[in-house]
Amino acid sequence: MDRAKLIIGNQTHELDIIKGTEGELAIDITNLRNDTGYITSDTGYKSTGATRSAITFLDGEKGVLRYRGYPIEQLAENSTFLEVAYLIIYGELPSPVELENFTNGITRHTLIHEDMKKFYEGYPEKAHPMGVLASMISALSTFYPDDHNTNLDPEKVDLTIRRLIAKSATIAAWSYRKSQGFPIMYPQNRYSYCANFLHMMFALPTEEYDVNPTVVRALNTILILHADHEQNCSTSTVRIAGSSHASLYAAISSGVCALWGPLHGGANQEVIDMLKKIQAQGGDVKKMVEKAKDKDSDFRLMGFGHRVYKNFDPRAKIIKKVSDELLSELGVDDPLLDIAKSLEEVALNDSYFIDRKLYPNVDFYSGILYRAIGIPTEMFTVMFALGRLPGWIAQWKEMRDNNEPISRPRQIYIGETKRDYVKIGDRG
């Protein structure tokens, strides 16, 4: 095995080099503190590998994304969200029987306990659906206390996984209905996962919901594209929360909260707000680009840049194509799409963005697609969470199956050194 040498003063320490199946390299520092008294410092974990994972491979320089070895382009073209969910969670594409059982298991658990319905009455009318989703998923643990200490009994874990995927869609759709003052729609077992979600979002109580296969296909694609993305902010949160052996519901709820922020999953909502602002100000995209470049302003071009993709985001390419197709098929003429296109063109030709390798990410076009489907802006990040659910679950499962230790980073303390307490009357 190759070794790395670390020289501190006159001491040389040898460290193992770990090589991944795609040739990725890491220096194993697990015993560094014990052996040397030193820790490493890496705020934001830009050079830290927190785990060894067999779920998702991505190469940010080449714009490659694969789930369990399968290229995202092939899965987006040929698969469904539930099939991809199975692949990500269990490691292999399902046989027809396995897929049928998985799908039926999810379909059978879409109802949520009637008592949970009462919670919706307590939220303020304008409650953000991400807050509702996080708290309702956390609340599921109180309705299924047996799922808590599953001790990785595979059958119980599988049941919790099915409950989570099924009920999260119902919780999400109902949070939208409530925010609009509309009656909730119960799930219909005859529909596919995506069709059922659209039914719960948009059906009128008096009419049969008219399922549009193009919309169902687009929704499947966008959920597939979001299904996992290795050790990002929310996924790391799920693994860290789960590493204390908190329940899967609690770990996922933490992930939803982490996803909410505008630098992560909240960016898709911010993109639309930004495009609307440009529209309201007369459509001057150059002004917005200049503002994003101005170091005196903390404004960033939403939907641009990515921690790992420094060439292009392969998901953005697929989503752009799917949203173009959907818009033309539905005959939607969205002025925000024109603004998005001009903004992209201006930014991609600007040396500030070129030099920093800032390209449109998946969120840049996902909002346009959601708008075309009729999903309101506040629900965008919730849609991201529904898509990311299989990834979070798979990462939690991998972490528990591998018996990973509780996560507990260290720090370099830079505060005051020891000083004595001064009574309040003696302070100046």
Q: Could you tell me if 67 and 227 are in contact, meaning their C-beta atoms sit under 8 angstroms apart? A: yes
Of 101, 307, 334, 342, the one binding ligand ACO (CB under 6 A) is: 307
Least distance CB 233 / ligand ACO (angstroms): 7
144 binds ligand ACO per the rule CB under 6 A: no
Q: How many residues of this chain bind ligand ACO (CB under 6 A)?
A: 18
User: Within its chain, how far is the Cα of 402 from the centroid?
Assistant: 22
Among 362, 373, 385, 394, binds ligand ACO (CB under 6 A): 362
CA 201 – CA 212 distance, rounded (Å) = 14
In whole angstroms, what is the distance from residue 166 CA to residue 162 CA? 6
Active-site residue (options: 324, 363, 420, 426):
363
Residue 360 is given by DSSP the state B
Binds ligand ACO by CB under 6 A, chosen from 174, 176, 304, 359? 304
Q: Is 350 a catalytic residue?
A: no
- Give the residue with the Cβ less far from ligand ACO, 263 or 354: 263
Cβ-based neighbours of 21, under 8 Å, separated by 6 or more: none
Active-site annotation holder among 109, 229, 306, 313: 306
Q: Which long-range contacts (CB under 8 A, 24 or more apart) does 332-340 make?
A: 332/372, 334/368, 334/371, 334/372, 335/279, 336/272, 336/275, 336/276, 336/279, 336/368, 336/371, 337/368, 339/275, 339/278, 339/279, 339/283, 339/285, 340/271, 340/275, 340/364, 340/365, 340/368
**Stretches 147-155, 168-176, 358-366, 402-410: which one binds ligand ACO (CB under 6 A)?**
358-366
In whole angstroms, how close is the CB of 179 to ligand ACO at the nearest point?
24
303 scored as a contact of ligand ACO (CB under 6 A): yes
Q: Is 363 a catalytic residue?
A: yes
Report whether 257 contacts 287 (CB < 8 A): no
> Cβ 265 to ligand ACO, closest distance in Å?
6
Strand order of the sheet with strand 25-27?
Answer: 3-8, 11-19, 25-27
Contacting range for ligand ACO; rule: CB under 6 A; set: 30-38, 177-185, 300-308, 324-332: 300-308
Q: Which stretch binds ligand ACO (CB under 6 A): 8-16, 186-194, 195-203, 263-271?
A: 263-271
According to the 3-state scheme, what is the secondary structure of 284-310?
CHHHHHHHHHCCCCCCCCCCECCCCCC
Tokens, residue 162: 């099915």
Q: Sheet harboring 64-67: ordered strands across? A: 56-59, 64-67, 70-71
Q: How far apart are CB 67 and ligand ACO at their closest, in Å? A: 15
Question: CA Rg, the chain, in Å?
Answer: 23
d(CA 235, CA 385): 11
- What gap in Å lies between CA 1 and CA 327, rounded to an integer? 54
Tell which one of 305, 314, 367, 390 touches ligand ACO (CB under 6 A): 305
Smallest separation (angstroms) from ligand ACO to the CB of 374: 22
Closer of 223 and 267 to ligand ACO (Cβ):
267
Phi-psi region of 225 (alpha: psi -120 to 50; beta: other; left: phi over 0): alpha
Residue 301 interacts with ligand ACO (CB under 6 A): yes or no = yes
Chain positions 280 to 299 lying near ligand ACO, rule: CB under 6 A, are 292
| Amino acid code (one letter) for 321 | K
Query: Closest CB to ligand ACO belongs to which residue?
Result: 305
Q: Given the complex with ligand ACO, which of 116 and 134 has the nearer CB atom?
A: 134
Choosing from 17, 356, 374, 402, the residue that interacts with ligand ACO (CB under 6 A) is: 356
Annotate each residue in 363-402 with x if it binds ligand ACO (CB under 6 A) or - if it does not, as one string: x---------------------------------------
Based on the shown chain and the rule CB under 6 A, indicate whether residue 306 belongs to the binding site for ligand ACO.
Answer: yes
130 part of the interface to ligand ACO, by CB under 6 A:
no
- Rule CB under 6 A: choose which of 148, 156, 264, 341 binds ligand ACO: 264
Stretch that binds ligand ACO, among 34-42, 68-76, 124-132, 304-312 (CB under 6 A): 304-312
Q: Does 267 bind ligand ACO (CB under 6 A)?
A: yes
Element (H, E) at 275: helix 267-280
Question: Which C-beta is closer to ligand ACO: that of 228 or that of 398?
Answer: 228
Residue number with CB closer to ligand ACO (203 or 337): 337
Q: Give the closest residue to 217 by CA, choosing from 93, 106, 323.
A: 323
In this structure, which amino acid lies at residue 251?
A: A
How many CB atoms sit inside 10 A of residue 109's CB? Answer: 19
In whole angstroms, the minimum distance from the beta carbon of 51 to ligand ACO comes to: 19
Closest among 291, 271, 293 to 339, alpha carbons compared = 271
Residues that bind ligand ACO (CB under 6 A): 263-265, 267, 292, 300-307, 356, 358, 361-363
Catalytic residues: 306, 363
